Amino acid sequence: MTKYVIISPVRNEEGFVEKTINSVIEQTIRPQEWIIVNDGSIDSTPEIIKKYINKHPWIKLANLEDRGYYYPGTGVINVVNHGYKEISTNDWDYIVKLDCDITIENDYFENIFKEFSQNPQLGIASGAIYLVNGGKEIKEKSQADHPWGASKIYRKKCFKDINGWKPIPGWDLADLLSAQMNGWNTRCFDEYKIYHYRGTGARREGFTNGKFLWGRFQYRYGYSLLYIFIKAIYWLTEKPFII
Same domain, 186 and 224: no
The answer to whether residues 128 and 194 belong to one domain is yes
pTM score: 0.82
Residues 128 and 165 in one domain: yes
Closest to 6 in 3D by CA, of 34, 29, 26 = 34
Residues 76 and 127 in one domain: yes
Range of the domain at 164: 4-205
Residues 200 and 218 occupy one common structural domain: no
195's enclosing H/E stretch is strand 185-196
Residues 80, 193, single domain; the answer is: yes
Question: Same structural domain for residues 19 and 43?
Answer: yes
Domain total in the chain: 2
* 119 and 224 fall within a common domain: no
User: What pLDDT tens digit does each residue of the chain (243 aa) get?
Assistant: 899 999 999 999 999 999 999 999 999 999 999 999 999 999 999 999 999 999 999 999 999 987 765 555 678 899 999 999 999 999 999 999 999 999 999 999 999 999 999 999 999 999 999 998 887 889 988 889 999 999 999 999 999 999 999 998 888 889 999 999 999 999 999 999 999 986 544 444 344 555 555 555 455 545 556 655 665 565 555 554 444
Same domain, 138 and 48: yes
Let me know whether 188 and 212 are in one domain.
no
| Percent composition of the chain: helix, strand, coil (DSSP 3-state, to 5) | 35, 25, 40
